[in-house]
A = this chain, B = another copy of it.
């Protein structure tokens, strides 16, 4: 049975799609609380301020999160919160990686409201959910041990450490990271050292590469100053 008063968080950078998700998700729930977020920071803030959230409907492509990095950050900080990934990337190998990084289910953006409602119910009952067609394809794909390893390493990072890592991986200097986070360069160094230790790497370049392994196909139009 569905828990009383489930609390949902809908994370998508598209307001219209958030509304559609909200509608479909709450359709067959007697009573529920729904929050929304439009970027990764908003998701983490919501989880920090509202520790009773049960389920997050997460779009993979949001400001502050390309690929699986948003999912990794969430799973690291709040392992108890279930995540239903919603994405247009419905290739089997992508879904495989999503599940390996701890998502409880996957909803293609092409799904109809009935499927979304079904998925939400299944996951709230502590289960998993995949579209039947995808479930078959994904089952055939081996789980990549490198991905599980990556997830385990990233899960050890603190929230702040994760923020530092994200900026580190963009090639920013320690001083720039310090300014961006409103702290001293010394503190950034302390975080960096902790990050390297937890990730098992020896310098910022390797850390950056490790983080960027969470990207899926499609290169994001990223920084390049001429």
In the complex, the answer to whether B219 meets A213 with C-beta atoms within 8 Å is yes
How many A residues have CB within 8 A of the partner chain? 41
In the complex, the answer to whether A169 meets B221 with C-beta atoms within 8 Å is no
Q: What residues of B have a CB within 8 angstroms of the CB of A216 in the complex?
A: 217
Distance in Å from the Cβ of A87 to the closest Cβ of chain B? Answer: 13
Q: What residues of B have a CB within 8 angstroms of the CB of A200 in the complex?
A: 224-226
Q: Give the residue name and chain of the B residue nearest to A169 (CB).
A: B209
Distance in Å from the Cβ of A148 to the closest Cβ of chain B? Answer: 11
Q: What residues of B have a CB within 8 angstroms of the CB of A212 in the complex?
A: 209, 212-213, 215
Binds B, one of A51-59, A69-77, A123-131, A139-147: A139-147
1/0 per residue A187-226: CB within 8 Å of B? 0000000000001111111101110110111111111111
Report if A224-B201 is in contact (Cβ < 8 Å); known contacts: A93-B218, A169-B209, A212-B212.
Answer: yes
- Answer whether residue A27 sits at the interface, using C-beta atoms and an 8 A cutoff: no
Complex-state Cα separation, A83 to B110, whole angstroms: 35
* Number of copies of this chain that the complex holds: 2
Distance in Å from the Cβ of A170 to the closest Cβ of chain B? Answer: 7
Instruction: Show 6 residue pairs from A and B whose CB-CB distance is below 8 angstroms, ordered by the A residue.
Output: A146-B222, A147-B219, A200-B226, A204-B205, A205-B205, A215-B215
Mark out the residues of chain A between 169 and 185 whose CB falls within 8 Å of any chain B CB in the assembled complex: 169-171, 173
Distance in Å from the Cβ of A177 to the closest Cβ of chain B? Answer: 12
Q: What residues of B have a CB within 8 angstroms of the CB of A221 in the complex?
A: 145-146
Distance in Å from the Cβ of A219 to the closest Cβ of chain B? Answer: 4
Report if A205-B168 is in contact (Cβ < 8 Å); known contacts: A213-B222, A219-B146, A221-B146.
Answer: yes
